[in-house]
Amino acid sequence: MRGAFPGAGEGKTDYPIQPVPFTQVHVSDNFWAPKIKVNAEVSIPYTLEQCKKTGRIDNFLRASGKLRDDKMTEYTFDDTDLYKVIEGASYGLQVRKNPELEKYLDTLIGIIGAAQEKDGYLYTFRTMNASHPHTWMGARRWEKEEDLSHELYNSGHLFEAAVAHYQATGKRTLLDIAIRNADLLVSVFGFGREERFPGHQIVETGLTKMYRVTGKKEYLDLAKFFLDVRGPGKPNSGEYNQSYKKVIEQHEAVGHAVRAAYMYTGMADVAALTGDRQYLSAIDDIWHDVVEKKLYVTGGIGATGNGEAFGQAYELPNMSAYAETCASIANVYWNSRMFLLHGDAKYIDVMERTLYNGLLSGVSLSGDRFFYPNPLASMGQYQRSAWFGCACCISNMTRFLPSMPGYIYGQNGNDLYVNLFVGNTADITLPAGKVTVTQQTNYPWDGKTDIAILPSGAAAFALHIRIPGWAANRPIPGDLYFDAPGTQQKKISILLNGQPAQYRMEKGYAVMERTWKAGDKISLDFPMDVQKLMADSMVEADKKRFALQRGPLVYCLEGPDNKDGAVQNIVVDKNAAVKAVYKPSLLNGVTVLEMKGTSSRRQANKDALVKSVQTVTAIPYYAWANRGPGEMTVWVPYEASAARPTPAPSIASKSKVSASATNKKMYVALNDQYDPMSSKDNSAPYFHWWPKQGTQEWVQYDFDQEYTVSSSGVYWYDDGPFGGCRVPASWKLFYKKGEEWLPVKNTGNYGTAKDGYNSVQFEPVKTSALKMEVQLPAENSSGILEWRVK
């Protein structure tokens, strides 16, 4: 089915609705403005400095011959971290002048330009001509593009950065570099020439941005080619990179979630800009598949760390949720495009949920600590990091936040859409005339928003005000999540100049069509009742639990706010009253939720649980893990069988852990007393020696005092067939006597069975420490879910 979208200037087709550019929207509220400021003043300088410290800038110097050593960074896509932070910095320059930053960007662009080959090729890992080339890049250009080389992925982020820098400064320096690279791609790729698809999508949206700025239709044609050439029969085709079918034949979300959402965004862009609607039925169906079966309540996507991928329908584990920060950013891009295509508020409902929860959780309040995955439960194994070897999420966050004001409004002729409720002043030009729109609000803490309309003269246009799904007892499009039974119907108030407004409902918007004049004011009041959300019964991980939401914010229980720092042991009645309390000094100012609940703990050598009544406190999910590692859960048990009573202290749980694995964050997994469901249960914390193979390794418990011990049990981690860990080849136990390690005299075998504890009995020994020596299998590593001592 083909057809054209309404034009957007000079006869070109484009999205029927256009976003109001963020440069025309000046955010001034107490929620987003400080976050955008921290990004500009902390995150961007910090990330630029890390790009320097970690050698990402040196890659370009090596490629240009200015640095003559034989090193390189870890990943073939590391060039993109520099591109993305330049993009974010450029967005910042569009809003606020910073001559020092602009000068530094000029220096970086000079370094990037010097690394570009004469024909426009720009890929430092090949051009630096290292004596030991990176194994991902292949012997020739593009040879491993469908797999791991990321040559086109690098180009895509270069294009997006170049457009942002040109629009911010008017300088063509980076844009000309990008044009040379794009012209090379146009000359190389196409049907009958180099018929390859990008292994990691993003070049498609980069090319559409280049087309918009330059008017070169070849760039749009190439973006379409990269979508149309994708499919079976090519090297490395499969679900992982969404090439198991032609893109127009795909109707469910599969594979790597970031790649997928970038591709769906590119499909929307190409459909809008070409007027060719063939992609739309595919991305419409895929959107329903995600929203109705594969979306976390936080708006995160990508359930499994195995391939950073979408899981099966309703496969939404909490502790092992991947929900990558990059995937949330991509989900915002995709849903914003779906809105621009269809003008339906349901896409903004999903976008807002992601924006305030699963995306914002990716960066600390301080702006210099980050999450890669965003789990929905923790036993203390998750904490924010200062940097990652694979830093895509960090640089992605720096480029996203400055552009956030561009998602507040949209326009289509004389239809003006108010999508997000953020304190701001926007200058918008409609066919009916220029109009200034000002929002005053304390959203998301308060549901009241005043919108002042100031046209340059009396102007007739339609104002479309989104009524959030959460305010209309529809937390999400579809039935994946829903209000708990008995939830009161919310009453929404919309006043125009102090009187009840006349409006019609259309695609989730309250539409007011009239001649507007200076001084007109709309007053919105969305009731901020606390909602207890339930999940579809097909979501196994959320049974007998509810999630708390107030306004657009999803809440979680976190250790620092609750008794004994524990939350996995808490139960709250479904009908418990919940009180909202604003705490200005907590986590930069948040509204917390307080309710009565019970907690339980086990006693040594007794079956009866000790239960206590307590006040249970929940904080906004985006703010968790800003006070160090600890327990956390989004889904709160309302039945005792869903909770995990705090175990009684054991010899193992009181021990100090050391090991031949250097990542000390993993050590907590060995003695956290969490009983796994199987050897591949990555919903629990686990310890591993990956990527080591075939070596002898060790792990040790130093007890808090001397004990007489006579047995030990180990639950092996084995994530076969796809992961890198298997049960070990063999293992032995040693006990400490003085300064000497002696083997225990075991009376049973050292087992290596999966899916249960492998217990070994030995003659009793009095000791202060126990050590396990593990022989890894020849071609795999090994790991441990739990290690007990009795």
φ/ψ of 279, rounded to 5, equals -80, -15
Token pair listed for 39: 């990004």
108 has a pLDDT exceeding 80: yes
Which pLDDT does position 605 carry in this prediction?
75
Mean pLDDT, residues 140-163 taken together: 97
| Cα distance between residue 677 and residue 244, in whole Å | 32
Token pair listed for 446: 């308060």
**R_g over Cα of the chain:** 28
Q: Tell me if the pTM is above 0.85.
A: yes
Q: How far is CA 593 from CA 55, 550, 578, 616, in A?
A: 45, 9, 6, 8
Q: Residue 386's CB: how many other CB atoms inside 10 A?
A: 11
Which pLDDT does position 95 carry in this prediction?
86
Which pLDDT does position 683 carry in this prediction?
76
φ/ψ of 718, rounded to 5, equals -145, 105
Summarize pLDDT for 325-368 with one digit per residue, the tens. Answer: 999 999 999 999 999 999 999 999 999 999 999 999 999 999 99
Token pair listed for 277: 């609607």
Q: Which of 423, 397, 440, 485 is nearest to 81 (CA)?
A: 397
| Cα distance between residue 111 and residue 218, in whole Å | 28
Tell me the pairing of strands 481-483 and 530-535.
Answer: antiparallel
Q: What single string gives the DSSP state of each residue in 424-455?
A: EEEEEEETTEEEEEEEEE-TTT--EEEEEEEE
Which pLDDT does position 8 carry in this prediction?
34
Mean pLDDT, residues 423-446 taken together: 98
When pLDDT is cut at 50, 70 and 90, the band that residue 398 belongs to is very high
| Cα distance between residue 733 and residue 754, in whole Å | 19
Which pLDDT does position 665 carry in this prediction?
84
* Cβ burial 196-228 (10 Å sphere, 16+ → b, else e): bbbbbbbbbbbbbbbbbbbebebbbebbbbbbb
Q: Which residue has the tokens 């339906």?
A: 344
CA 511, distance to chain mean position in Å, is 33
| Cα distance between residue 110 and residue 101, in whole Å | 14
DSSP state of 363: B
What contacts 444, CB < 8 A, 6 or more positions away? 31, 356, 421, 551, 552, 553
- Name residue 736's amino acid: K
User: Percent of the chain scored above 90 by pLDDT?
Assistant: 90
Q: Which residue has the tokens 């590593």?
A: 781
Q: What single string gives the DSSP state of each residue in 608-643?
A: SPEEEEEEEEEEEGGGTTSSSS-EEESEEESSGGGS
Which pLDDT does position 509 carry in this prediction?
98
E strands, 180-243, are none
- Of 295 and 8, the structure prediction assigns the larger pLDDT to 295
Bond from prior residue into 16 cis (ω within 30 degrees of 0): no
Token pair listed for 659: 């090991």
Mean pLDDT, residues 743-765 taken together: 94
Q: Which of 180, 184, 78 is nearest to 136 (CA)?
A: 78
Which pLDDT does position 305 carry in this prediction?
87
Q: How far is CA 405 from CA 16, 91, 449, in A?
A: 20, 11, 17
308 has a pLDDT exceeding 70: yes
The helix, strand and coil proportions of the chain, stated in percent and rounded to the nearest 5, come to: 30, 25, 40
Summarize pLDDT for 646-675 with one digit per residue, the tens. Answer: 999 999 999 999 999 988 888 989 999 988
DSSP state of 212: H
When pLDDT is cut at 50, 70 and 90, the band that residue 7 belongs to is very low
User: Percent of the chain scored above 70 by pLDDT?
Assistant: 99
Token pair listed for 510: 């309250």
Tell me the pairing of strands 530-535 and 590-601.
Answer: unpaired
Q: How far is CA 223 from CA 12, 219, 230, 243, 272, in A?
A: 17, 6, 11, 16, 12
- Of 234 and 714, the structure prediction assigns the larger pLDDT to 714
Q: Quick one: which H or E segment has residue 37?
A: helix 32-38
Which pLDDT does position 489 carry in this prediction?
83
CATH architecture assignment, domain 656-789 = Sandwich (2.60)
Q: What single string gives the DSSP state of each residue in 469-495?
A: GGGGT-SSSSSSEEEPTTPPPP--EEE
The alpha carbon dihedral of 656, 660, 666, 670 has a sign of negative
What contacts 327, CB < 8 A, 6 or more positions away? 257, 258, 261, 300, 301, 302, 308
What contacts 664, CB < 8 A, 6 or more positions away? none
Helix (H, G, I), strand (E, B) or coil at 292: helix
**Are residues 4 and 401 in contact, defined by beta-carbon separation less than 8 angstroms?**
no
**Are residues 401 and 95 in contact, defined by beta-carbon separation less than 8 angstroms?**
no
Bond from prior residue into 444 cis (ω within 30 degrees of 0): yes
DSSP state of 14: -
Helix (H, G, I), strand (E, B) or coil at 650: coil
Q: How far is CA 589 from CA 27, 409, 442, 501, 652, in A?
A: 18, 26, 12, 33, 39
When pLDDT is cut at 50, 70 and 90, the band that residue 488 belongs to is confident
Degrees, nearest 5: CA angle 664-668-670: 110
**Are residues 298 and 353 in contact, defined by beta-carbon separation less than 8 angstroms?**
yes
φ/ψ of 370, rounded to 5, equals -140, 155
Helix (H, G, I), strand (E, B) or coil at 297: coil
Which pLDDT does position 751 carry in this prediction?
94
| Cα distance between residue 116 and residue 138, in whole Å | 19
Q: Quick one: which H or E segment has residue 400?
A: helix 392-400
Summarize pLDDT for 560-616 with one digit per residue, the tens. Answer: 999 999 999 999 999 999 999 999 999 999 999 999 999 999 887 777 889 999 999
Average pLDDT across the chain, whole number: 95
Which pLDDT does position 3 carry in this prediction?
33
| Cα distance between residue 76 and residue 135, in whole Å | 9
Query: What is the location of CATH 2.60.120.260 in the chain?
Result: 656-789
Tell me the pairing of strands 570-571 and 553-558.
Answer: unpaired
Which pLDDT does position 257 carry in this prediction?
98
| Cα distance between residue 676 and residue 660, in whole Å | 23
Token pair listed for 223: 């973006």
**Are residues 554 and 298 in contact, defined by beta-carbon separation less than 8 angstroms?**
yes
- Name residue 649's amino acid: P
The alpha carbon dihedral of 176, 182, 185, 190 has a sign of negative
Mean pLDDT, residues 281-308 taken together: 96
Token pair listed for 234: 């090519």
